[in-house]
């Protein structure tokens, strides 16, 4: 059970990063707990010239997961939560006194929170995902049907060894072996021994992979491009590849299953479509807002300075430099748009 102070910290400080809070941002002005605006404005605690209102306290309770909220039904437990909220406010005030709100890291966190909440606010006036007309969804689906085409997937099992000579020995045994004998060969040669629970036919299993040209493939450090290329060169299920090398060693692989490519139907992806269409509506509002703001602000980029520093820039984690010297920054998850599909079919 979390302490009231930790609960208050999560609610009082981190609620702006809460994805559910972003999802329900259009209703953020609503007073929780059935309070009238006058009741919500009443102080429930005072800290010098600062107050915590009954509405703020009710919002803290409302933003809790239901199982957490049930722990704060008694007056004593609610007093604990209120005292924790007071402590959090005092700590926040002290942080400001010490200038921590001016710290670059804190400023960046605040900026990202504000962006996330602004994107949530842009959902105001847009329909809930479940309220988007089916005709609009079908039109969108027809225009983007290629996005919902599942590529062929092949399941692959591997023998991985340290040297080519051992790989060749394993291949000579595996290429004529029965499926039931594959597990014994994996156990005999592979550096990665099969689990006792693995079926002999799928020993050394790496799961399903898509072809080497699939740009949407899920990252898998073991399923390298060399492995994906090799398994898609095999003619049929049960076929075994000649030895090849990648960053993890020498491999002999076997295709153990295959799922053909297929187009997902409208019914398959309707829920996903509802979220995506709403996200695109929100993105269009964001783009229009930014373009309108740019009309009154002169945005300039000093390309000469940028070009001069990127080649020697010490890149922090999450940033990668390409061969040309340019840098790309991975987007922060805290500013990604969040849309719930509740209410969809």
- State the pLDDT at residue 255: 96
How large is the average pLDDT for residues 35-64? Answer: 87
pTM exceeding 0.85: no
Chain centroid to Cα 98, Å, comes to: 34
Say if strands 244-246 and 153-161 run parallel, antiparallel, or are unpaired.
unpaired
Least confident segment among 57-61, 108-112, 127-131, 287-291: 57-61
SS percent in the chain: helix, strand, coil, step 5: 50, 15, 35
Q: Which residues 6+ apart lie within 8 Å of 329 measured at CB? A: 318, 319
Q: Which residues 6+ apart lie within 8 Å of 132 measured at CB? A: 274, 277, 278
> Do 167 and 159 touch, CB atoms closer than 8 A?
yes
Each residue's pLDDT tens digit, 86-99 = 998 899 889 999 99
What is the rounded distance in angstroms from the CA atom of residue 202 to the CA atom of residue 29? 56
> Edge to edge, what strands does the sheet with 244-246 contain?
205-209, 153-161, 249-259, 244-246
What is the rounded distance in angstroms from the CA atom of residue 243 to the CA atom of residue 246? 10
How large is the average pLDDT for residues 307-330? Answer: 49
Chain centroid to Cα 321, Å, comes to: 23
Each residue's pLDDT tens digit, 283-309 = 999 999 999 998 888 888 888 877 777
Residue 65: which pLDDT band, with cuts at 50, 70 and 90? confident
> Which of 17 and 248 is assigned the larger pLDDT?
248
Q: Please, what are the domains in the chain?
A: 4-121 (no CATH), 129-144+268-335 (no CATH), 152-260 (3.10.50.40)
């Amino acid at each position: 059970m979390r302490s009231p102070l930790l609960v208050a910290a999560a609610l009082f400080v981190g609620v702006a990063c809460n994805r559910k809070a972003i999802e329900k941002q259009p209703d953020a002005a609503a007073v929780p707990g059935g309070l009238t605006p006058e009741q919500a404005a009443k102080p429930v605690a005072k800290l010098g010239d600062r107050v915590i209102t009954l509405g703020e306290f009710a919002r803290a309770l409302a933003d809790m997961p239901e199982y957490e909220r049930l722990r704060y039904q008694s007056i004593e437990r609610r007093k604990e939560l209120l005292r924790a909220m007071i402590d959090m406010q005092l700590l926040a005030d002290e942080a400001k006194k010490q200038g921590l709100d001016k710290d670059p890291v804190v400023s960046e966190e605040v900026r990202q929170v504000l962006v996330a909440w602004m994107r949530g606010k842009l959902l105001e006036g847009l329909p809930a995902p479940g309220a988007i007309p089916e005709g609009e969804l079908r039109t969108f689906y027809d225009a983007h049907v290629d996005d919902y085409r599942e590529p062929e997937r092949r399941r692959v099992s591997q023998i991985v060894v340290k040297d080519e000579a051992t790989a060749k020995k394993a291949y000579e045994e595996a290429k004529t072996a029965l499926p039931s004998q594959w597990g014994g060969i994996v156990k005999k040669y592979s550096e990665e021994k099969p689990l006792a629970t693995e079926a002999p036919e799928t020993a050394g299993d790496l799961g399903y992979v898509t072809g080497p040209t699939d740009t949407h493939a899920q990252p898998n450090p073991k399923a390298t491009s060399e492995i994906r290329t090799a398994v898609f060169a095999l003619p049929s299920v049960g076929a075994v590849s000649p030895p090849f090398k990648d960053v993890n060693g020498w491999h002999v692989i076997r295709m153990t299953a295959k799922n053909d490519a297929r187009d997902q139907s409208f019914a398959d992806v309707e829920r996903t479509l509802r979220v995506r269409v709403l996200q695109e509506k929100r993105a269009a509002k964001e783009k229009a807002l930014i373009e309108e703001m740019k009309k009154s602000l002169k945005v300039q980029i000093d390309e000469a300075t940028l070009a001069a520093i990127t080649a020697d820039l010490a890149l922090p984690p999450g940033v990668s430099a390409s061969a040309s010297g340019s840098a790309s920054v991975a987007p922060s998850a805290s500013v990604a748009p969040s849309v719930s599909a509740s209410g969809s079919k």
